[in-house]
Amino acid sequence: MFRQLFIHTPYNFFDEALPELAGLGLAPEIYFKAPDLDRLAADGSRLKEQAAQLRERGMVCSFHGPFLNLSPASYDARIAAVTRERFEQLFEIAELFRPRAIILHSGYERWNYNLNINLWLEKSIPFWRPLAVRAAELGTVLAIENIFETTAGGLRLLFDEIASPAFGGCFDIGHWNLFAEMDMSEWLALLKDHIVAFHLHDNRGAFDDHLVPGDGLIDFAAFKMLVETWKIAARVHTFELHQRTELERGVAWFRAHGFLER
């Protein structure tokens, strides 16, 4: 199904995690929190060295940006400006690392927008369009991740409006299981031409557990069948594990169940 598995790697664990990931043939999806961006803005001397380490090992990476308290589609111009500043900081780092994808959250919460997707779209489209252009210039893709969306319709409207090969979706199967009111087959059918990344982890339907697949309730066999049937060719497949001690067991699961080809 795919040849490269990416692993959720908070930036503050990057140096520690890199040798293990390299030894297992894995790649980091580097998660930058807002405090990381502030520290790196003050002193980013390590970034060039870290990007060089990846190249020397023949490794690729992807990026996951900050999201706490950020709102790309905010009706408060100052909040939107802070969000844009954070994402621009991330893109500056991406110039060094050249990640295969940059994953950012959609910012949609239906109660904040009075259940009106058009209110969210009105602010989302002008926010994301210049970042899609920047992603194209970097040779990467900007992948918008589903969080609290109950259906995929709003994301589809956004992707159709931006209409860029450098802009698409990151299907987070764990978030789908928690919040979606749409069957997985319907969701993937609607977004199949726009999905550029997958976040893969399990849960039991009550909390965002980030478990090894098979430890929760998600039907990964059905997911695999749908992806293969519709030939969804994502650039990045990330195992979003939060329990580092379970890494090798999780990677073994992906190999044993025909997800990871090597």
Distance of alpha carbon 129 from alpha carbon 71, whole angstroms: 15
Residues of the chain with pLDDT > 90, as a percent, come to: 95
Give the CA angle between residues 62, 140, 7 to the nearest 5°. 10
Band (pLDDT 50/70/90 cuts) for residue 262 is confident
pLDDT digits (tens, 9 = 90+) for 30-83: 999 999 999 999 998 999 999 999 999 999 999 999 999 999 999 999 999 999
Give φ, ψ of 149 to 5 degrees.
-60, 135
pTM: 0.97
Q: CA-CA distance, 168 to 77, in Å (whole number)?
A: 24
Give residue 112's pLDDT.
85
State pLDDT tens for residues 110-126: 888 888 899 999 999 99
In the three-class reduction of DSSP (H, G, I as helix; E, B as strand; rest coil), residue 101 is classed as strand
Q: What are residue 198's DSSP bridge partners?
A: 171, 237
User: Read out DSSP for 170-184?
Assistant: EEEHHHHHHH--S-H
Average pLDDT for the chain: 97
Rounded Cα–Cα distance for residues 197 and 11 (Å): 20
pLDDT in tens, 78-113: 999 999 999 999 999 999 999 999 999 999 998 888
Mean pLDDT of 18-22: 97
Q: Which amino acid is at 233?
A: A
Q: pLDDT (tens digit, 9 = 90+) per residue, 186-219?
A: 999 999 999 999 999 999 999 999 999 999 999 9
Set out the domains of the chain in order of their start, with CATH numbers. 6-256 (3.20.20.150)
Please give the span between the terminal C-alpha atoms of the chain, in angstroms, as a whole number: 10
pLDDT score of 4: 98
